[in-house]
């Protein structure tokens, strides 16, 4: 038998959200606008009787005589979710970040992504929360009926959540191998500092045969595109993944270190310039390089010399990583277009790059997917 608990007081805010009237007290009488400044209303943790995992509630406004609805932001850490519940006057959710799940009683779970709007009618039993690999935040607007916003029920069982989360394990068919598929997802997660998603992508890659050496090399290369702090944090996450997998008895392939000796000095720059020209399709020149010649020297000596001469990750893998990282970062569309073309010069097909677009969307980053799709549309297939 379902244990129904009608929330009162603070739990009414969780329903979401009833008890934050103070900033708007007297609004109807004064007939003037009032503003509750961001950060002035205290957030609080979702209580364990109504949620599993770490959940933060940020109240926005309460219901009043004019608007019979309350609102709050609710942020779920990866794997966190609500208990089963109903709303006597319905609810609307707008996903603002991350990837989540929602499920109506007796029906399959559904993925939710930023911009999605979930319409929950009155009395419909459901739950919602974050995906296993990603945090999720939604804006909730909840109707009020006879002073009530929510009726809490039993917790979602581990088996129920695992069954719902299995939709994220569905493969995205395409031209990339399973090993290659993980590379842009690893890079995109590193570029956005999404460590839970990076953890999942690293595990996926290692399960698909990516070696430890290759995984390290992807994250080392990321510093040239995303900066040292993100690269270092991502390497720390790889260390945590390796330790966890070792504890589970998983023996991952160590891979090979770079073979051969990397040249230095003028010889290094010469090799790097040759690599840069081949990947770019022509010598790299232009106003920026003329304005700051040292930047091209760094690109030639370090990125295309020191890094691209390391053969423990092939050039196709390096370009998959670069495309994934650049797609995840708004504002670098010109560089993303360049690397879509470069990817084809090192042997990746348009079908494989279209697969990257699909993978980014499936991972819960529609904006990155859209940027990648647009960049690919804007470049032609390079001549042999």
Peptide bond into 343 cis (omega under 30): no
User: Taking residues 261-283, what's their average pLDDT?
Assistant: 95
Last residue within a domain, chosen from 141, 169, 197: 169
Tell me, yes or no, whether 143 and 234 share the same domain.
no
The tens digit of pLDDT for each residue in 281-321 reads 999 999 999 999 999 999 999 999 999 999 999 999 999 99
The yes-or-no verdict on residue 8 having pLDDT over 80 is: no
Q: Is residue 48 part of a domain?
A: yes
Give the chain's domain count: 2
Tell me, yes or no, whether 36 and 54 share the same domain.
yes
Q: How far apart are CA 169 and CA 111, in angstroms?
A: 12
The tens digit of pLDDT for each residue in 46-102 reads 999 999 999 999 999 999 988 999 999 999 999 999 999 999 999 999 999 889 999
Of 4-13, 173-182, 220-229, 301-310, minimum mean pLDDT range: 4-13
Label residue 20 by pLDDT band (50, 70, 90): very low
Last residue within a domain, chosen from 145, 169, 193: 169
Tell me, yes or no, whether 231 and 331 share the same domain.
yes
Torsion angles phi and psi, residue 118, rounded to 5: -105, 120
User: Taking residues 254-281, what's their average pLDDT?
Assistant: 94
CATH number of the domain that residue 361 is part of: 1.20.1290.10
Label residue 171 by pLDDT band (50, 70, 90): confident
Tell me, yes or no, whether 32 and 154 share the same domain.
yes
The yes-or-no verdict on residue 127 having pLDDT over 60 is: yes
**Domain range for 148:** 5-169
Tell me, yes or no, whether 254 and 133 share the same domain.
no
Last residue within a domain, chosen from 105, 134, 169: 169
CATH number of the domain that residue 137 is part of: 2.60.120.10
Q: How far apart are CA 125 and CA 121, in angstroms?
A: 9
The yes-or-no verdict on residue 350 having pLDDT over 80 is: yes
Check if the beta carbon of residue 44 is closer than 8 Å to that of residue 183.
no
Tell me, yes or no, whether 145 and 65 share the same domain.
yes
Residue 35: how many other CB atoms lie within 10 Å: 8
Tell me, yes or no, whether 234 and 142 share the same domain.
no
What share of the chain has pLDDT > 90, as a percent?
A: 79
Mean of all residue pLDDT scores within the chain: 90
Residue 96: how many other CB atoms lie within 10 Å: 15
Q: How far apart are CA 134 and CA 141, in angstroms?
A: 23
Tell me, yes or no, whether 231 and 84 share the same domain.
no
Tell me, yes or no, whether 118 and 52 share the same domain.
yes
């Amino acid at each position: 038998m379902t244990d129904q608990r009608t929330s009162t007081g603070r739990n009414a805010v969780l329903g979401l959200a009833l008890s934050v009237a103070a900033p708007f007290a007297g609004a109807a009488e004064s007939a003037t606008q009032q503003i509750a400044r961001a950060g002035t209303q205290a957030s609080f943790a979702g209580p364990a009787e109504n949620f599993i995992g770490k959940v933060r509630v940020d109240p926005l406004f309460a219901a009043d005589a004019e608007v019979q609805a309350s609102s709050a932001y609710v942020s779920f850490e990866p794997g966190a979710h609500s208990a089963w519940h109903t709303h006597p006057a319905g609810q609307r959710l707008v996903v603002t970040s991350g990837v989540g799940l929602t499920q109506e009683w007796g029906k399959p779970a559904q993925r939710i992504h930023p911009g999605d709007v979930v319409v929950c009618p009155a009395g419909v039993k459901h739950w919602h929360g974050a995906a296993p690999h990603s945090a999720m935040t939604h804006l909730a607007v909840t109707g009020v009926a006879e002073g009530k916003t929510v009726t809490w029920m039993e917790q979602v069982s581990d088996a129920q959540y695992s069954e719902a989360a299995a939709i994220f394990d569905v493969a995205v068919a395409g031209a990339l191998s399973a090993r290659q598929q993980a590379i842009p997802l690893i890079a995109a997660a590193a570029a956005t500092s999404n460590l839970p998603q990076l953890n999942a992508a690293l595990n996926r890659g290692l399960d698909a045969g990516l070696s430890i050496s290759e995984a390290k090399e992807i994250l080392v290369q990321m510093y040239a595109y995303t900066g040292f702090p993100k690269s270092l944090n991502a390497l720390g996450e790889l260390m945590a993944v390796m330790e966890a997998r070792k504890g589970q008895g998983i023996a991952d392939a160590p891979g090979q270190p770079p073979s051969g000796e990397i040249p230095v000095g003028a010889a290094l720059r010469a090799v790097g310039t040759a690599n840069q020209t081949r990947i770019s399709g022509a010598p790299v020149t232009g106003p920026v390089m003329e304005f700051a010649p040292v930047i091209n020297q760094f690109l030639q000596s370090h990125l295309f010399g020191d890094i691209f001469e390391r053969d423990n990750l092939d050039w196709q893998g390096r370009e998959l990583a670069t495309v994934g990282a650049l797609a995840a970062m708004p504002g670098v569309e010109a560089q993303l277009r360049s690397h879509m073309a470069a990817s084809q010069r090192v042997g990746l097909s348009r079908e494989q790059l279209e697969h990257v677009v699909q993978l980014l969307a499936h991972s819960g980053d529609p904006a990155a997917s859209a940027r990648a799709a647009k960049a690919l549309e804007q470049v032609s297939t390079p001549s042999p």
